[in-house]
Amino acid sequence: MAPAAAKLLLTDLASGIDRVPDNYIRSEADRPNLTEVEASDASSIPLVDLQGLSGPNRDDIIRQIGRACQQDGFFQIKNHGIPEEKVQAIMNIAREFFQLPESERLKNYSDDPTKSTRLSTSFNLKTEKVSNWRDFSSLHCYPLEEYMHEWPTNPPSFRKEVGEYCTRVRELVFKLLEAISESLGLEREYISQNLGKHGQHMAMNYYPPCPQPELTYGLPGHTDPKLITILLQDDVPGLQVLRNGKWVAVNPIPNTFIVNIGDQMQVLWLHSFKPCPSMRF
């Protein structure tokens, strides 16, 4: 068996160690402090029911979305239109993929961040000083026909399930962009028409069990650089969001998504309006 240090993926390294390696340990000032993290409740993370978005309650739902974007920059959604079986299928395929034998997973490995499809670890091993405790599969997925042939072929249903899921999520994103446009007093198509070339990117993140979780992060605090992120959690809590200066743990709710407004949305908004200090776009 190869020595632990030779392992390319964290999943395989973590299975044979009882201490966090030095290159994953954060400085004392930059380590997780769980005592300062607030638990989420029904009022702490906005939850928007999209069921009436095409009916008489549309204006109220748009106001809810606009308020969540302005005050928080993120919100949860339910009744989003993606069937529960599709959500479960994508979670199953992700688990199957990361549970494949090491030799099979490594067929998809690359440490080149410019590749449109790759399996890697941390974030960018070539430039970072401290590594993140995660493995990830990164997939460009729009247009599907340009990228699907690069995706993994194992598990056998990977391309089918991921392709169907990405198509559904893309439809959901455009529905949300219409609502966000309207919440700003714009035409429904304003944001999507001002995007330039459309793209879509998917990441499957896997966080192996950590022997010393107080020393490291799966992902440290960050903003998303893209326009909008649709995040699906499994049933293991771990996600935190910054709200009113406090980190808040987002407890998973079955069949919901987290919507995160990205940096590109802020740029687009500032290009169209005068700056507003309270706007999180």
Burial class (CB in 10 A: 0-12, 13-18, 19+), 261: buried
Instruction: Say if residues 238 and 218 touch (Cβ distance below 8 Å).
Output: yes
Residues of the chain falling short of pLDDT 50: 1-5, 274-281
pLDDT at 276: 40
d(CA 134, CA 71): 30
Q: Which of 6, 26, 3, 81 is nearest to 215 (CA)?
A: 26
| SS3 category, 264 | helix
Reading across the β-sheet that carries 240-243, which strands appear in turn? 38-39, 246-249, 240-243
Residue 31 half-sphere exposure, CB side, CA atoms within 13 Å? 12
- How many angstroms separate the CA atoms of 179 and 212, rounded? 43
In 184-238, alpha helices (H) = 190-193
> Which value, to the nearest 10 degrees, does the dihedral of the CA atoms of residues 87, 92, 98, 104 take?
-120
Beta bridge partner(s), residue 206: 135
Query: Do 216 and 26 touch, CB atoms closer than 8 A?
Result: yes
Encoded tokens for 20: 């966090």
The reported pLDDT for the residue numbered 170 is 96
pLDDT tens, 20-39?
A: 999 999 999 899 887 788 87
Per-residue pLDDT at 197:
78
What residues pair up with 109 in beta bridges, in sequence order?
Answer: 119
Instruction: State the pLDDT at residue 27.
Output: 94
For residue 140, the surrounding DSSP H or E stretch is strand 135-142
Identity of the amino acid at 81 = G
Assign 266 to helix, strand or coil.
Answer: helix
- Record the pTM: 0.90
Per-residue model confidence (pLDDT) at position 273: 55
Q: Collapsing DSSP states into helix, strand and coil, what is residue 52? A: helix
